[in-house]
Amino acid sequence: MKFATISTSRNSSQPALIINDRAHLLPYADMLAVIAAGAETAASKASSDSLALEEVKFLSPLKPTTLRDGYAFEQHVKTANKNRGREVPEEWYQFPVFYFTNPNAAFGHEDVIPYPHYTNAMDYELEVAVVIGKSGINLKADDAPNHIFGYTIWNDWSARDVQRKEMAVGLGPAKGKDFASSFGPYIVTADELTEREAGRPGVYDLAMTARVNGKTLSAGNFKDMYWSFGDILARASDSVQLLVGDVIGSGTVGTGCLLELTKFQGPWLNEGDVIELEIERLGILRNTIGKQAS
Spell out the domain ranges in the chain: 2-58, 67-292
Task: Convert the pLDDT of each residue in 142-169 to its tens digit.
Answer: 999 999 999 999 999 999 999 999 999 9
Residues 67-292, CATH architecture: Alpha-Beta Complex (3.90)
Rounded distance, CA 1 to CA 15, Å? 13
Buried b (16+ CB within 10 A) or exposed e, 96-117: bbbbebebebbbbbbbebbbbe
> Which pLDDT score, from 0 to 100, does residue 128 have?
98
Residue 67 has pLDDT above 90, yes or no: yes
Instruction: Name the band, by pLDDT with cuts 50, 70 and 90, for residue 84.
Output: confident
Cα-trace Rg, the chain: 18
Residue 9 has pLDDT above 90, yes or no: no
Rounded distance, CA 233 to CA 89, Å? 21
Q: Stretch 40-63: mean pLDDT, rounded?
A: 96
Mean pLDDT across the chain, nearest whole number? 96
* pTM > 0.85: yes or no: yes
104: left (phi over 0), alpha (psi -120 to 50) or beta: alpha
Task: Convert the pLDDT of each residue in 263-276 to its tens digit.
Answer: 999 999 999 999 99
Long-range Cβ contacts of 267-274 (<8 Å, 24+ apart): 268/120, 268/121, 268/122, 268/123, 268/160, 269/122, 269/123, 269/124, 269/212, 270/122, 271/115, 273/212, 273/213, 274/212, 274/213, 274/214
